[in-house]
Amino acid sequence: MNKYESVVIINPNVDEEGIKTLIQKLSDLINSDGKLEKADELGKRRLAYEVKKNKEGYYVVFYFEANTSLISELERNYRITDEVIKFMTVKVEE
């Protein structure tokens, strides 16, 4: 299994309960075929440029180990989730 880091920017208009639910859903997805080490909630931050008409976003960083097959499924879920406005997943070299 490889180590990965995934940064997700959530729409700032989502309420606190919605954010917690989304983080839990994504954590469960990662744990289905990998191992989530931690999920850092960095909070609401200003974006460098507008993304989908938003000037701010709620940042969450997931650190996890997974098989490569999970990454495509995870990114597919990011794309179809309306609350996610931007994401990036990178492989961490040890």
Q: What is the CATH number of the domain that holds 80?
A: 3.30.70.60
- Tell me the two tokens of residue 80: 């179809």
Q: Is residue 62 part of a domain?
A: yes
Question: What is the distance between the alpha carbons of residues 32 and 34, in angstroms, rounded to a whole number?
Answer: 6
Q: What are the tens digits of pLDDT across the range 6-29?
A: 999 999 999 999 999 999 999 999
Q: Is residue 49 part of a domain?
A: yes
**Which pTM was predicted?**
0.90
pLDDT value for 50? 93
Q: Is residue 4 part of a domain?
A: no
Q: Is residue 3 part of a domain?
A: no
Mean pLDDT calculated for residue range 25-34: 92
From residue 40, alpha-carbon distances to 11, 47, 49, 50, 75 in Å are 17, 18, 22, 23, 18
Q: What are the tens digits of pLDDT across the range 56-71?
A: 999 999 999 998 889 9
Coil, helix or strand at residue 64: strand
Q: Which domain holds residue 64?
A: 12-91
Question: What is the distance between the alpha carbons of residues 74 and 25, in angstroms, rounded to a whole number?
Answer: 11
